[in-house]
Amino acid sequence: MVSFSSVIMLFNITTICWLVVISAFSVGGVSAQLSTGYYTKSCPKVFDVVESVVKSAVAKERRMGASILRLHFHDCFVQGCDGSILLDDTSSFTGEKTAVPNINSVRGFNVIDDIKSKVESVCPGVVSCADILAIAARDSVVLLGGPNWDVKVGRRDSLTASLSSANSGVIPPPTSTLSNLVNRFQARGLSAKDMVVLSGAHTIGQARCTSFRNRIYNETNIDPSFARTRQANCPSRNGVGDNNLAPLDLKTPTTFDNDYYQLLLVKKGLLHSDQILYNGGSTDSLVETYSKNPKAFNDDFVAAMIRMGDISPLTGGSNSQIRKNCRRVN
């Protein structure tokens, strides 16, 4: 015969187990519901369609790979990976595209539109814009020579965007201190190591003169010849040549590799927020490791991208949907 005290103990243990399960699904916005096989039955061709469009876009302009990767990052850091950055402004709504970190800077929206159109023709109303962006970011990295990984999917799209949040500093500016970078990433559940390895995405892409003008004219932890080279295309006067571009990785700007870290070792980081990673601080050893070990960089980058893709996904409820057009709510 089971004693009353045994029943009570069993009840308590069961209650604790359920609390653990509930807690696991509450932390990080139920990211546990994302899976790599989410579209196996509902839209098995989605990955092929996305890859085809991204491959065509990158073939036309290799810089586009970096732009799509950056678009995913800027989306995830504001409201989570919910496609909010893709929403256009309307007469009654102001989205994130005109936020300071985004205006005249983020690009690649037309590529996402093209992907969405083709995916809708194959699987109407099934695949979210947020998932398309996550898959396209992975494909961009692979097409430029970087590592591959299985993208977790199952996100839904936001009905809103937040201009104020995008302007609040959650997206670290190129003038960031090391502590600000660490804090901004930690606020999104990412470690200092994640921050350093995700910064390695700057091995591809370009930056505008306005982002690095102060560094090349006023900072001392910069190689003098490198500074002079950059000054030739970025005048010191504000408003002159603001949108002139320079590669973030001057050695191989359209190839995903670990050259970014090697350049930091010789004080040739283009942005202040790049060089601050190797400036006598707590992240120096990570930069040194990634500069010497491309496999470590690739492996850690993959792990960090997967963690970033888990930031506050929408997986159901009345505050989300599968948008038919990524630029507007249905």
Q: Do β-strands 206-208 and 245-247 pair in parallel, antiparallel, or remain unpaired?
A: antiparallel
**Which residues does residue 237 pair with via DSSP β-bridges, in sequence order?**
none
Enter the tokens of residue 65: 């790979």
Tally Cβ neighbours within 10 Å of residue 328.
Answer: 13
| Residue among 201, 216, 195 at smallest CA distance from 270 | 216
**Could you give the C-alpha distances from 26 to 22, 79, 154, 316, in angstroms and in order?**
6, 16, 16, 13
Taking a C-beta distance cutoff of 8 angstroms, is the pair 284, 278 a contact?
yes
The whole-angstrom separation of Cα 212 and Cα 176 is 12
The whole-angstrom separation of Cα 77 and Cα 85 is 10
Enter the tokens of residue 61: 């302009």
Q: Is 72 a catalytic residue?
A: no
The whole-angstrom separation of Cα 226 and Cα 245 is 15
Active site residues: 74
